[in-house]
Amino acid sequence: MSKKKVAILISGRGSNMEALIKACQDASFPASIELVISNKKEARGLEIAQSYGIHTQSVNRKNFPNDHEFDSKISAILKENNIEIICTAGYMKILTKEFVESWHNQIINIHPSLLPDYKGLNTHKRALDDGVQLAGCTTHIVESELDSGQILMQATVPVLKDDTEDALAKRILRMEHIIFPETLKRIATNEFRLNK
């Protein structure tokens, strides 16, 4: 079985990155993490990826005149490594339209809300402020409009009466670690019918 070559883009610790790496260690998993790229050289996730023997790179946005040049560099690195699927896992930078279009249907993201609700940041606070009874997470195809691409998988958790942002975030994160690897598996085996 030939495994799909995957790169993960991160900005921080990369707990979802680690969940993906662990899933890919299974010999029967249809994808292999070839590369982890961070836009922050101090990202803890780089050390974690290295501890699994994965090639890492950091690319500093400040070294480029604009976002387009920065994303072009990232894209060139991905192509050099024959990457087929990109996972964004806590990557705190909006991808340019050109980048997204050049990797059409090949970028998947995990978002800590039940999209289309609570796009963007502070998802848990907004959910608690609204008094919702269910929260959760979503994997989706990345489009140029933020958090708007085709939804692939979702997982829900109940919102408890005395929930704090932190407590809710921890319960949702556990679900993220389940559905992100499962989404990658299904993308790698072409199980989703993706929009054109």
Q: Is the pLDDT of residue 1 over 90?
A: no
Strands 134-141 and 151-158: antiparallel
Strands 107-111, 85-88: pairing kind? parallel
Per-residue pLDDT averaged across 13-40, rounded?
97
| Active-site amino acid positions | 111
Residue 112: name the closest of 141, 89, 130 by CA: 89
At 135-171, the pLDDT tens digits run: 999 999 999 998 999 999 999 999 999 999 999 999 9
DSSP state of 62: G
Residue with tokens 């993706």: 194
Question: Whole-model pTM?
Answer: 0.96
Domains observed in the chain: 4-188 (3.40.50.170)
- Strand-pairing partners, residue 33, are 6
pLDDT in tens, 56-112: 999 999 999 999 999 999 999 999 999 999 999 999 999 999 999 999 999 999 999
